[in-house]
Amino acid sequence: MKGKLLGNGKFIIEKDGHTDAASVIKSCKTIISHSQMIVDHLTNPEADLPTWFTNKIAISEYEVVSAANYIADGEMDHHQDG
């Protein structure tokens, strides 16, 4: 998937023409890459981080773990989003 910024400031997601599985693989690789970048830049485990930042990471972790649990056992711990 890729995105496009519209003139009104809204960002829309565009499919890149691949199958769902290919898109998920690409997205997972992007998540891994960006997660490593975050880890590499957090050299002090005691550093204070903004609440909005830690909330984004916590929500992302929850969503990725939920998706992995679905793959592992076919069950999600919350409703599917359409």
Q: Is the separation of the CB atoms in 1 and 14 below 8 Å?
A: yes
Residue 26 scores a pLDDT above 80:
yes
Q: What is the reported pLDDT for 8?
A: 74
* Greater model confidence, 11 or 36: 36
Domain shared by 53 and 24, yes or no: no
Q: What is the reported pLDDT for 22?
A: 86
Strongest mean pLDDT among 9-18, 23-32, 71-80: 23-32
Domain shared by 39 and 1, yes or no: yes
Residue 50 scores a pLDDT above 70:
yes
Domain shared by 39 and 53, yes or no: no
Q: What is the reported pLDDT for 35?
A: 97
pLDDT band at residue 15 under the 50/70/90 scheme: low
Domain shared by 60 and 29, yes or no: no
Q: Is the dihedral of CA 12, 76, 55, 49 positive or negative?
A: negative
Q: Which domain holds residue 58?
A: 48-82
Domain shared by 38 and 60, yes or no: no
Q: Is the separation of the CB atoms in 55 and 48 below 8 Å?
A: no
Domain shared by 1 and 39, yes or no: yes
Number of domains in the chain: 2
Domain shared by 20 and 53, yes or no: no
With residue 13 as reference, give the H or E element that holds it: strand 11-14
